[in-house]
Amino acid sequence: MRTQLQPATQAWWFAAGRLLGTIAAGLIIGALIGSVWGGLACALAVHLAWQLVVLFRVEWWVRHRSFADPPDIGGVWGQIISQIVRLHRRKRFHKQRFVQLVRQLQSSTAALPNGVVILNPQREIVWFNRMAGRLLDLRRAVDLGLRIENLLREPEFTRYLRLQDYSNPVIVRRASREDCYLSLQIVPYGDGQQLLLADDVSRQMRLEAVRRDFVANASHELRSPLTVICGYLETLSQDPALDRDLAGPVAEMRRQAERMTGIIHDLLELSRLEQPGDPVGGEPVDVAALLALLRKDVLARPVHPRELRVRIDSDAALIGEESEIHSAFSNLVDNAAKYTPAEGSIEMRWWVDEDGGHFSVTDTGIGIPSEHIPRLTERFYRVDPGRSRATGGSGLGLAIVKHVLQRHGAELEVRSAIGKGSTFSCHFPPQRVQAIRTATAV
Amino acid sequence: METADLSHHISRRFNEDLERVRSKVLAMGGFVEQQLQKAITALTEGDSTLGESVALGDYQVNNMEVSIDEECSRILATRAPAAGDLRVIVAIIKTITDLERIGDEGEKIGYIASRLATMERPADKYREIKHLGRIVSEMVHDALDAFARMDAESALRVARQDRLVDEEYEAIQRQSITFMMEDPRTIRRALDVMWVVRSLERIGDHAKNISEYVIYMVYGKDVRHTSLDDVERELRERAAPAGVPRSTGP
């Protein structure tokens, strides 16, 4: 039974047959002309020359890459040619699909409303989309291969790159345009590649400024009429001719008006702290003296916890804006005093270690349920609405603390257990701490 | 590393040194740009705190200049650069001097701004200064862009802008003289304003210098004290210069 031969096998048999035929023809011609070897050599030479011609055609075809038009050659060479053609077709097909995919990806990224720039590990621009070109004033073709920091020279961005903390975007005021704010963020990916995302936040920044100005102006405008009301209420409450039935209400009105003054004061303070700007520089603040002052303030309250300790473990000074530090610390101490019963205790502590400077206030007050802790620093956030109003806070104290600490590069940490008390700690970075060199500490 | 002509060095370290020092120059430029803008804002908005912060921030510019200068000396001493690289280093050394001067002028404006903030503001709210300030900051920005891109044509455009600044300077000067003659009480303020305008005009000159260094860096031709039209003609003739540092994309 004969099996169907593969074309390749067939070609090999054919080639072998042809070689044998050539040899046979050579031998016959050799026998005719009387020189067997001469005939054989002649036949082989012809065979070799034919093979060379075929080889030349194949090589010429491959060199000129005219894959669409293969030479008409049979035998083993024909097989090789058809293999090459098939490989090439497959490659072209994959390439086309790949190119299509890349093009789709690029066109979708190009259409993104955000600016996207691809950077290599040296932060040189590899590719950017249309929006990035518009936001960052990048020029197509010209700017490829340039380092991004050479074109985006805003000091905020330079600092962002130097610190290499890419967890948050950085807001940059564009130098070349008026009132243009960009939010820039680096996203590292792959093998040292980086993605720069740019977004125009001018509108948000403007709205934010309008809101801030509104709060500041409104508070300011409310202050003058309130001063008048407070003045009259004070006179009234001291008037001996005042009807006795009215004495209670007038006293209450006076208390509430004073509370309102406090709220407005805090609102103004807060809107001042919210102004964007560089982190504050400041002067060395003597923490020990400041805490002594705060202790006196607590002792001056009509009701205050019995035990009030101040622990100073370091005579290092804190570098910051004294009025702001005072306002933040006094808010924390005030809170502790407010929520701690007379038989409780409060401890203020200042210490320095390799992580920086730390200030903490520990009280044995009522404590804060854990679900409220993350939201404590929100404006007007109340853990227990009824109770807080009774104690007369503005609801802005911890928001002020948060902003002051942010401006000083510090963090607020809150730990609390219900019924046992709370600890509020402020952690300042090491560069905010200055060791006092003079040996004046007694 | 695609900045074509800076990439041909056998020593990769040299490349990195050059690129780093270039980035440092541009970072310094970015800081100076911001100082200038803050100073102008402080003046036009009457913000004395901002003016003071500009005046106090100038020491950072000086520090940057010293550090870049040192690095350039180190590169000159250890790598002995030639041709295009030498031009880059020379241009950098000159550029930082001009940037430092711009910083100084910005400091002056900031200082005057904090003083003027306490005085009565004119009815036009320093509109002319704002206008001139915008032209000058744009010049500084474009000069630095040209430096980053090694773009001689943009540099030439910046250099041309200087004429406009001179004209504005003249106009404000004439206007100030009129004010002073009309009402001698404004003389003090007008003199301060003249100082600011003078500083801005000087900053324009420094920006022009920087763009001339860019042309020098790219074409190896010193174009200082020559007419800009001659320069342009020459640049056109040498439209395709060979072996000059020029940033091109891949």
State pLDDT tens for residues A172-189: 888 777 778 999 999 998
Q: Which residue has the tokens 């963020």?
A: A185
Contacts of B250 in chain A (CB under 8 A): 144-145
| Across A411-426, average pLDDT | 89
Report the C-alpha gap between B181 and B122 in whole angstroms.
15
CA of B16, closest CA in chain A: separation in Å?
A: 10
Q: What are phi and psi of A403, to 5 degrees?
A: -65, -40
A423 forms bridges with which residues in the sheet? Answer: A362, A415
Report the C-alpha gap between B120 and B189 in whole angstroms.
9
Is the pLDDT higher at B105 or at A84? B105
Report the C-alpha gap between A196 and A119 in whole angstroms.
7
Smallest Cβ–Cβ distance between A154 and the set B34, B138, B145 belongs to B34
Contacts of A178 in chain B (CB under 8 A): 134
Look at B138 and A122 and tell me if their CB atoms are within 8 Å. no
Q: DSSP character for A433?
A: E
| Across A281-299, average pLDDT | 86
Look at B26 and A155 and tell me if their CB atoms are within 8 Å. no
The rounded radius of gyration (Å) of the Cα atoms in chain A is 42
Residue type, A202: S
Residue A278, Cβ density class (10 Å: 0-12 exposed, 13-18 middle, ≥19 buried): exposed
Say if B130 is an interface residue toward chain A (CB within 8 Å): no
User: Which residue from B minimizes the CA distance to A280?
Assistant: B53
**pLDDT digit string, tens, across residues B44-80:** 888 888 888 888 888 999 999 999 999 999 988 988 8
Q: Is the pLDDT of residue A199 over 60?
A: yes
| Across A84-113, average pLDDT | 89
CA of A326, closest CA in chain B: separation in Å?
A: 22
- Give chain B's domains with CATH numbers: 8-237 (1.20.58.220)
Which H or E run includes A73?
A: none
At A318, is the secondary structure helix, strand, or coil? Answer: strand
Q: How many alpha carbons lie under 13 Å from residue A341 in its C-beta half-sphere? A: 6
CA of A159, closest CA in chain B: separation in Å?
A: 10
List chain A domain ranges: 7-99, 112-200, 204-273, 283-434
Kindly report the number of other CB atoms within 10 A of residue A265's CB atom.
Answer: 14
pLDDT-derived band at A375 (thresholds 50, 70, 90) equals confident
pTM of the model: 0.68
CA of A138, closest CA in chain B: separation in Å?
A: 10
Report the C-alpha gap between B246 and B4 in whole angstroms.
7
What is the CATH T-level fold of the domain A283-434, as seen in this structure? Heat Shock Protein 90 (3.30.565)
Which H or E run includes A426?
A: strand A421-428
Q: For residue A336, what pLDDT is reported?
A: 87
Interhelix angle B187-219/B228-237, rounded to 10 degrees, is 20
Q: For residue A262, what pLDDT is reported?
A: 87
Report the C-alpha gap between B154 and B97 in whole angstroms.
21
A 82-141 near B (Cβ less than 8 A)? 122, 124, 137, 139, 141
CATH architecture, domain defined by A204-273: Orthogonal Bundle (1.10)
Q: For residue A273, what pLDDT is reported?
A: 83
Pick the CATH number of A112-200 from 3.30.450.20, 3.40.50.620, 3.40.190.10, 3.40.50.1980: 3.30.450.20
